Structure 1
Amino acid sequence: MGSSQRALLSLLDQCLTFSHIKQIQSLLTVSGNISDPFIASKVISTCAISDFGDLYHSYRLFRCLPCRNTVIWNTMIRAFEEKGDPTTSLSLYSKMLQNGFLPNNFTFSFLLRACAKLSALSMGFMLHDHVIKLGWESYDFVQNGLIHLYASCNIMDPARKLFDSSLNRDVITWTALINGYAKLGQVMVARELFDQMPEKNSISWSAMINGYAQLGFFKEVLDLFNSMLASGYRPTPAGIVSALTSCASLGALDQGRWIHAYVDRNKMELDTTLGTALIDMYAKCGNIETAHSVFNEMPIRDVFAFTSLISGLANHDESASAVELFEKMQHEGVAPNEVTFICVLSACSRMGLVEKGLGIFKSMREDYGIEPWVQHYGCLVDLLGRAGMLEEAKSVVRKMPMEPDSYVLGALLNACRMHGEVELAKEIFKFLNEQNLDHGGVHSLLSNLFASAKQWDDVAKVRTGMQEKKVRKVPGSSSIEINGVVCEFVSGNYSHHLTQEIMLALFEMEKHLKSVCLEDDGDDK
């Protein structure tokens, strides 16, 4: 390679715009150097993979080349996979074979990633067959690609066999397997592997944290999150979101505040995912004012951020603000989704805004092309029932395009309780009984209705029916956070372990109150 060619290639590394790349390409084309496979590969790679390049310009250049080699094919396959077009990557592989070029280990690493993104398991099996025939199976990143493919497609037996036979397992290999088991709900197997890892990184910690979060093991999420920080690892954004979701579910406000402070200290971007998680955490932990503040700080607010705050406002008896925020959302051009409508219809129901609610329900189909779910009909029945419009509520139930579920009929039953409609309640209960939808909450609601009407014989029948069917009311529960630790108490559970938890929580609370009192006394002095 001549000095002029080396100079032009070095300029490619310094390009800052697509225009610069095109100028160098023109010089190479005029001089005839573009026909050199190495030089062509460098131009194509810079144009296809750089942030300011043009993938399809690169592809046009690729198609015009008089001679290609495996490196150039790999460059294009990689570029389409990394730029979010894995289907074209796989299509290029077929053309590569048709043109008589054999893939190498790099080719397969790109192709296996493309298969994983598409969950293209049959194509993955074919590639695995090619890997074995061509002798590339022992290469680490090819093995990692196969393990990741099988794990992402929930096929763990071949993934585990490859893992067990691998002599050079790196952190990527371990993490891929942990992710696969966690996705299948085999969190104990995932944790066993995680504990055996000789080396961990932030991604492997977050994979285990996210696995716990997906299965609702929220206490384990926070325990592992705290261990991760204590071990000196920085959590990924996904790990932070899982921790905030766990705080929301457990009511661990102090822990949630600490995570929020960590986000601020590390100047992490308040994107839509992280911002929505913070809004949800504060709203569910009872701090709706801070949830609103986070919402206002977000530079970009999408449908999920709006929906999360609308839900929080509705659940904190601020239904008027929820409806107002819904209207602001529409004014800003953010289209509501199905969940948004459930939240705002619930807000209308609590406020008794019948006309407003009916208009919003109508707009779902007419303005946004959203077909109502059974939950939306349940909200509509609740809206009409609370307002005493029982005939209209019954009409909605009759005209529903799907079978009413226990939520819809429960809303109608609750309206019967509010307005003393005993006979209609009996009809609803009979239907629920026939459909095996008569859970504990329905029995309790009907029992309370009969009791308020002083129909004690009917109360006794409901109670007897519950005993015969062994229907139990879901016990009430509450939780308390002491020094960042959440203790949950369940009604009717008097186990020795729970008694110890209660005594410990009360002891900690007493110490905390004494310290506060002493501080106050000091201030008075």
Structure 2
Amino acid sequence: MNATRGLSTILRSASNSTQSVQSVIFPGVNLDVLEKTLKKCRNPMQFFQIQAQMIVSGYIHDAYASSRLVAFAASSKFIDLEHLPRVLLNISSPNQFSWNWVMRACVRRGRPRMTFSLYASMLERGDPCPDQYTHPIVFQACAFRKEETEGKQIHAHVQKFGFSSDVYVVNTMINFYSVCGNIVSARQLFDKSTSLDSVSWNSILSGYIGADEVESAVKVFDKMPERNLIASNSMIAFLARIGRPIEAYRLFEQMPVRDVVSWSAMISCFDQNGMQCDALKMFSTMFSEKVAVDEVVLVSVLSAAARLAAVKEGEMVHGLATKTGIVSYLNLNNALITMYSSFSDVSAAQKLFYSCPHLDQISANSMLSGYLKCRHLDDARRFFNLMPAKDAVSWSTMISGYAQNGQFSEALLLFQEMQIGGFIPDEPALVSILSASAHLTSLKQGSWVHAYVRRRRLSINPILGTALVDMYMKCGCVEDAAAVFEDMAEKGISTWNAMIAGLAANGFPSEALEKFSEMKRLGIAPNEVTFVGALSACRYLGAVAEGQRIFSSMTEEHHIQPNSLHYGCLVDLLAQAGLLRDAEEVIETMPIAPDVATLGALLGACKNHGDLEMGERVGKKMIDLEPDHDGAHVLLFNLYASRGMWAEAAEMRATMKQKNVTKIPGCSLVEAGGTVVEFFSGDGEQALRDPL
């Protein structure tokens, strides 16, 4: 029923028979009866009856009684927020207590604009004047909307009405300016205040933490007269977020009193900063000290167990959650689904998902991610198709799953469906599509993503920027890749790696080595991937001496142990230069077993340089290493054929047939109408024509 109509109906009934309404609600109007009747009020109709009786009897004009009615209405969820100002209007002179209650209700129910309107109406009436509790409520409304302009006007009112020295008012102003990002004004208020309390210190500390001003936050915390739990817990969480877990732990150890939030913040700190073992040890200590655990603590512990693949510990935490009766909590259940998925125990994840009485979108997305982590792509797609509701994360998760499992064409097709459905792709989805576009050399799709990023004015961070550079390089658009690279405000090591490898692969090995030198001049330490790109550039350039120098610098300067890729590049570099004996010596002395690719590089060079004896020796090693590898057989066949040894070539072909070793057919990709089509060598003319 409409609030106004409901009250009007009751008022008409009350006018016709005052006594009948009185008998329904209460026999005599007094404060004690009003309080008891309000306690029994359970719905809007009952409230309207009470309000109507107070109006008819005139009791509504009693200042204290009317304020109790307003307070009840403001704190009752079943009373429509729009009805609260009408309750005030029915009172001839509502006191400040009543105005404050209604304004506070507007803030708490997410309607800060109503708070501003009520405050303006109160000032227009001129009576009552704001008290020390009024302006803090209005500041909360301003903070809710980050309305700094209105807040500054209220600040002027605070000075006008003489509340500038009230600590409660000052604290809310400090918080308001901090929320609005104006930490300078917040600090000025803090420094000028003559009566600071713990809330004042907590407020300015929170402001610096919110502004990510590390040193200022540390200084304020160190100067606090008394470090309370709220401040200490906030600092632990802040130090965790900025990657300073050792300092966070030192602070934790110094705390004279800790609560469950302190333990939770410290465990989460370790987990966030890659110290999962320490997170589990911290939880063990917490448990041994008999500190009561809650849902938040267990979620952090499950995250650490998942990242460590600590199955036993994860199952123990699951058992503890069951024992304490919180296993059915939604966030905890979702964390368990994620943990078991990371253990590749998809059946346990399924059991949790389908047995949970309360599920949300996060639950469904967690289960979908679980299927994909376990590489159950078909199950994931079936689950995705049956999801009653999908959000951008659902689409992004499925697209990323396809891309990470090499199903690049499916990723592109699903991305097109996502667009048709009107969903806005998030960064993981865009990065996955760029990765798929790079692998399929789909320049049209990759360029669309770049145009989308520019159109939406999205910031290009190192992850997105690296994906763009990699896509353009693999599509052969070196200038576009370089333009993205140069425009990036922040570059990660992966960005440099994509640039160096891309330049080398696209026929610019000298430029790749220049980028490698530039990176080192800027103080950016190369990693394993960087050296693969640099050695590849030397290989394309034929720069043997430079390649050997870079290879040696891995261990001597950067303390990086070469892997099979690095040795493969060095062997290929030496072999292509005709230094076959040196290349073979590298293979024989390398501390790890050579793989087929490394041996294949030398075998191919043996064919090119006509070294039959070494070629046979290396080829047989390849076949011994992988008897079914087609490359070894084909390279040996070509070696024999190039030397006119047709009998040996025929024997090699017969061996391939006997072992059922077949040469993998060549594959071509054609982009047509936004779709990438694959064609294999040997496909008929009809097979080529039908997809197009």
Question: TM-score of the superposition, structure 1-length normalised?
Answer: 0.83
Once the two structures are superposed, what CA deviation does each residue of 1:93-126 show, in whole Å capped at 9, x if it has no partner?
A: 4444444443334443444344334443322222
Once the two structures are superposed, what CA deviation does each residue of 1:32-75 show, in whole Å capped at 9, x if it has no partner?
A: xx7xxxxx443344433358999857974785446x65566556
Query: Quick one: structure 1 residues 395 and 82, their matched pair in 2 at CA, closer, same or farther if it must change by over 3 Å?
Result: closer
Task: Provide the C-alpha distance between the structure 1 equivalents of 2:254 and 2:517, rounded to a whole number of angstroms.
Answer: 51
Q: 1:166 aligns with which of 356, 362, 383?
A: 356
- Secondary structure of the residue aligned to 1:103 is coil
1:374 correspondence with 2:564: yes
Amino acid at match of 1:131: A
Query: Quick one: structure 1 residues 104 and 412, their matched pair in 2 at CA, closer, same or farther if it must change by over 3 Å?
Result: closer
1:502 correspondence with 2:689: yes
Tell whether the 8 Å contact from 1:429 to 1:438 is kept in structure 2 after alignment: no
1:131 correspondence with 2:324: no
Q: Which range moved further: 154-163 or 77-86? A: 77-86
Task: Provide the C-alpha distance between the structure 1 equivalents of 2:582 and 2:264, rounded to a whole number of angstroms.
Answer: 65
CA offset at residue 368 of structure 1?
1.4
Q: 1:42 aligns with which of 205, 208, 230?
A: 230
Task: Provide the C-alpha distance between the structure 1 equivalents of 2:594 and 2:272, rounded to a whole number of angstroms.
Answer: 46
Aligned to 1:275: 465
Aligned to 2:341: 151
Query: Quick one: structure 1 residues 72 and 501, their matched pair in 2 at CA, closer, same or farther if it must change by over 3 Å?
Result: same
Aligned to 2:646: 456
Q: 2:386 aligns with which of 178, 196, 202?
A: 196
Task: Provide the C-alpha distance between the structure 2 equivalents of 1:455 and 1:161, rounded to a whole number of angstroms.
Answer: 63
CA offset at residue 174 of structure 1?
1.1
Alignment of 1:108-507 (within 5 A): 108-437=298-627, 439-494=629-684, 499-505=686-692
Task: Provide the C-alpha distance between the structure 2 equivalents of 1:81 and 1:157, rounded to a whole number of angstroms.
Answer: 26
Task: Provide the C-alpha distance between the structure 2 equivalents of 1:435 and 1:72, rounded to a whole number of angstroms.
Answer: 56
Once the two structures are superposed, what CA deviation does each residue of 1:389-413 show, in whole Å capped at 9, x if it has no partner?
A: 2222232233222333322222222
Q: Which range moved further: 252-261 or 438-447? A: 438-447
CA offset at residue 191 of structure 1?
1.8
Task: Provide the C-alpha distance between the structure 2 equivalents of 1:48 and 1:375, rounded to a whole number of angstroms.
Answer: 42
Tell whether the 8 Å contact from 1:25 to 1:43 is kept in structure 2 after alignment: no
Once the two structures are superposed, what CA deviation does each residue of 1:306-329 show, in whole Å capped at 9, x if it has no partner?
A: 221222222222222222222222
- Secondary structure of the residue aligned to 1:368 is coil
Amino acid at match of 1:467: K
- Secondary structure of the residue aligned to 2:539 is helix
Aligned to 1:37: none
Once the two structures are superposed, what CA deviation does each residue of 1:193-252 show, in whole Å capped at 9, x if it has no partner?
A: 222222222222222122111211111111222222332322222221111110011111
- Secondary structure of the residue aligned to 2:677 is strand
Once the two structures are superposed, what CA deviation does each residue of 1:8-49 show, in whole Å capped at 9, x if it has no partner?
A: 5664346423667986997774xxxx7xxxxx4433444333
Task: Provide the C-alpha distance between the structure 1 equivalents of 2:250 and 2:488, rounded to a whole number of angstroms.
Answer: 38
Task: Provide the C-alpha distance between the structure 2 equivalents of 1:414 and 1:456, rounded to a whole number of angstroms.
Answer: 18
- Flag the structure with more relative contact order, 1 or 2, with Cα contacts below 8 A and sequence separation at least 6: 1
Unaligned runs of 5+ in 1: 35-39, 506-525
CA offset at residue 283 of structure 1?
1.2
Q: 2:207 aligns with which of 12, 16, 35?
A: 16
Amino acid at match of 1:195: N
Tell whether the 8 Å contact from 1:59 to 1:76 is kept in structure 2 after alignment: no
- Secondary structure of the residue aligned to 1:185 is coil
Q: Which range moved further: 456-465 or 257-266? A: 456-465
Query: Quick one: structure 1 residues 226 and 447, their matched pair in 2 at CA, closer, same or farther if it must change by over 3 Å?
Result: same
Tell whether the 8 Å contact from 1:450 to 1:459 is kept in structure 2 after alignment: yes
Tell whether the 8 Å contact from 2:311 to 2:343 is kept in structure 1 after alignment: yes
Query: Quick one: structure 1 residues 84 and 16, their matched pair in 2 at CA, closer, same or farther if it must change by over 3 Å?
Result: farther
Q: Which range moved further: 376-385 or 271-280? A: 376-385
Task: Provide the C-alpha distance between the structure 1 equivalents of 2:601 and 2:266, rounded to a whole number of angstroms.
Answer: 58
Amino acid at match of 2:341: A
- Secondary structure of the residue aligned to 2:507 is coil
Tell whether the 8 Å contact from 2:462 to 2:492 is kept in structure 1 after alignment: yes
- Secondary structure of the residue aligned to 1:16 is helix
Task: Provide the C-alpha distance between the structure 2 equivalents of 1:10 and 1:338, rounded to a whole number of angstroms.
Answer: 50
Q: Which range moved further: 116-125 or 181-190? A: 116-125
CA offset at residue 282 of structure 1?
0.9
Amino acid at match of 1:211: G
Q: How many residues are aligned here?
A: 491
Percent identity of paired positions between Structure 1 and Structure 2: 36
Tell whether the 8 Å contact from 1:9 to 1:42 is kept in structure 2 after alignment: no
Amino acid at match of 1:285: C
Task: Provide the C-alpha distance between the structure 2 equivalents of 1:74 and 1:26, rounded to a whole number of angstroms.
Answer: 25
- Secondary structure of the residue aligned to 1:283 is helix
Query: Quick one: structure 1 residues 123 and 501, their matched pair in 2 at CA, closer, same or farther if it must change by over 3 Å?
Result: same
Give the aligned CA root-mean-square deviation in angstroms. 3.1
CA offset at residue 489 of structure 1?
0.8
Question: TM-score of the superposition, structure 2-length normalised?
Answer: 0.65
- Secondary structure of the residue aligned to 1:489 is strand
- Secondary structure of the residue aligned to 2:557 is helix
Task: Provide the C-alpha distance between the structure 2 equivalents of 1:428 and 1:84, rounded to a whole number of angstroms.
Answer: 43
CA offset at residue 141 of structure 1?
2.0
- Secondary structure of the residue aligned to 1:267 is coil
Task: Provide the C-alpha distance between the structure 2 equivalents of 1:429 and 1:27, rounded to a whole number of angstroms.
Answer: 74
Task: Provide the C-alpha distance between the structure 1 equivalents of 2:458 and 2:304, rounded to a whole number of angstroms.
Answer: 30
Tell whether the 8 Å contact from 1:310 to 1:322 is kept in structure 2 after alignment: yes
Unaligned runs of 5+ in 2: 1-132, 134-165, 172-196, 210-215
Amino acid at match of 1:16: G
Task: Provide the C-alpha distance between the structure 2 equivalents of 1:475 and 1:156, rounded to a whole number of angstroms.
Answer: 36
Q: Which range moved further: 371-380 or 161-170? A: 371-380
Task: Provide the C-alpha distance between the structure 2 equivalents of 1:27 and 1:404, rounded to a whole number of angstroms.
Answer: 62
Tell whether the 8 Å contact from 1:44 to 1:62 is kept in structure 2 after alignment: no
Q: Which range moved further: 211-220 or 454-463? A: 454-463
Q: Which range moved further: 399-408 or 108-117? A: 108-117
Amino acid at match of 2:555: R
Task: Provide the C-alpha distance between the structure 2 equivalents of 1:431 and 1:25, rounded to a whole number of angstroms.
Answer: 67
Query: Quick one: structure 1 residues 80 and 327, their matched pair in 2 at CA, closer, same or farther if it must change by over 3 Å?
Result: closer
Task: Provide the C-alpha distance between the structure 2 equivalents of 1:193 and 1:89, rounded to a whole number of angstroms.
Answer: 33
Highest Rg: 1 or 2?
2
Q: Which range moved further: 431-440 or 239-248? A: 431-440
- Secondary structure of the residue aligned to 1:479 is strand
Query: Quick one: structure 1 residues 388 and 122, their matched pair in 2 at CA, closer, same or farther if it must change by over 3 Å?
Result: same
Once the two structures are superposed, what CA deviation does each residue of 1:117-143 show, in whole Å capped at 9, x if it has no partner?
A: 444332222222222222222222222
- Secondary structure of the residue aligned to 1:492 is coil
Query: Quick one: structure 1 residues 163 and 412, their matched pair in 2 at CA, closer, same or farther if it must change by over 3 Å?
Result: same
Amino acid at match of 2:385: D
